[in-house]
């Protein structure tokens, strides 16, 4: 009987080791696919749906629009045109360029400017998560696990689960899940969880890679007399 238990224990250990090796192999494959996509990345455009869930009131806040990314010599630029909020027409523009994130709200005649300064690389890594970033670069800021495969909107994706290494980042997002399209090396869905149980779910569709995007997309087109405020200033 003792020998039988020892044999069973040995088999379990072997199976666990085999599973771990397979998981590491799958992770390495996905990261390599993302590396290959990043090497050729110039720009991206996609339609998005952002779902901000607040647990304490069990409420969802939805925004829809189009997002743009462009790699330039100084880094990556991101712009988002938000045209719908909770099913109602909306008009808001978000721009990340240089060392600032700007949010333009035409109906309020106001631009809110956040200077990211020394946190630029950290902010950039979140904004371009799954779009143009190298897969192996994730390992610098996150503990990364392969979380299996899942079909999302007709695409067979590979899931990655990220745990931020930085304690300050974990205070905001303690877990992130990416659904990667292995054929293109980009994320078609992302979910960021906060310690409070809130989450932000982003779904991307109609993704277009490396097509020409007008430079005007990455400029704030403000009306006369628009106010600019900086909460950090």
Domain definitions of the chain by residue range: 2-229
Rounded to whole angstroms, the Cα distance separating 170 from 195 reads 8
Helix (H, G, I), strand (E, B) or coil at 153: coil
pLDDT, tens digit, for every residue of 63-117?
A: 999 999 988 877 788 899 999 999 999 999 999 887 888 899 998 999 999 887 7
Is the confidence at residue 220, as pLDDT, over 70? Answer: yes
Is the confidence at residue 23, as pLDDT, over 60? Answer: no
Question: Is 0.85 topped by the overall pTM?
Answer: no
Pick the CATH number of 2-229 from 3.65.10.10, 1.20.140.10, 2.50.20.10, 3.40.50.300: 2.50.20.10
What token pair was written down for 156? 């067979």
Give Cα separations from 12 to 24, 42, 146, 203, 212 (angstroms): 18, 47, 21, 38, 53
Span 211-218, average pLDDT: 91
Is the confidence at residue 217, as pLDDT, over 80? Answer: yes
Cα-Cα end-to-end distance for the chain: 73
């Amino acid at each position: 009987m003792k020998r039988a238990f020892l044999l069973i224990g040995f088999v379990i250990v072997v199976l666990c080791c085999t599973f771990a090796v397979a998981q590491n192999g799958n992770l390495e494959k996905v990261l390599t696919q993302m590396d290959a996509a990043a090497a050729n990345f110039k720009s991206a455009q996609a339609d998005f749906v952002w779902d901000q869930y607040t647990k304490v009131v069990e409420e969802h806040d939805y925004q829809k629009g189009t997002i743009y990314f462009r790699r330039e010599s100084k880094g990556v630029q991101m712009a988002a045109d938000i045209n719908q909020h909770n099913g109602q027409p909306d008009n808001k523009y978000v721009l990340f360029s240089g060392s600032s994130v700007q949010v333009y709200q035409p109906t309020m005649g106001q631009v809110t400017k956040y200077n990211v300064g020394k946190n630029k690389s950290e902010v950039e890594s979140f904004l371009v998560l799954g779009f143009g970033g190298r897969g192996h670069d994730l390992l610098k800021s996150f503990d990364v696990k392969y979380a299996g495969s899942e079909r999302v909107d007709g695409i067979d994706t590979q899931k990655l689960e990220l745990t931020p290494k930085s304690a300050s980042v974990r205070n905001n997002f303690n877990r992130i899940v990416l659904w990667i399209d292995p054929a293109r090396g980009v994320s078609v869905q992302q979910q960021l969880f906060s310690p409070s149980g809130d989450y932000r779910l982003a779904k991307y569709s109609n993704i277009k890679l490396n097509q020409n995007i007008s430079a005007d997309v990455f400029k704030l087109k403000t009306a006369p007399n628009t106010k600019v405020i900086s909460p950090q200033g």
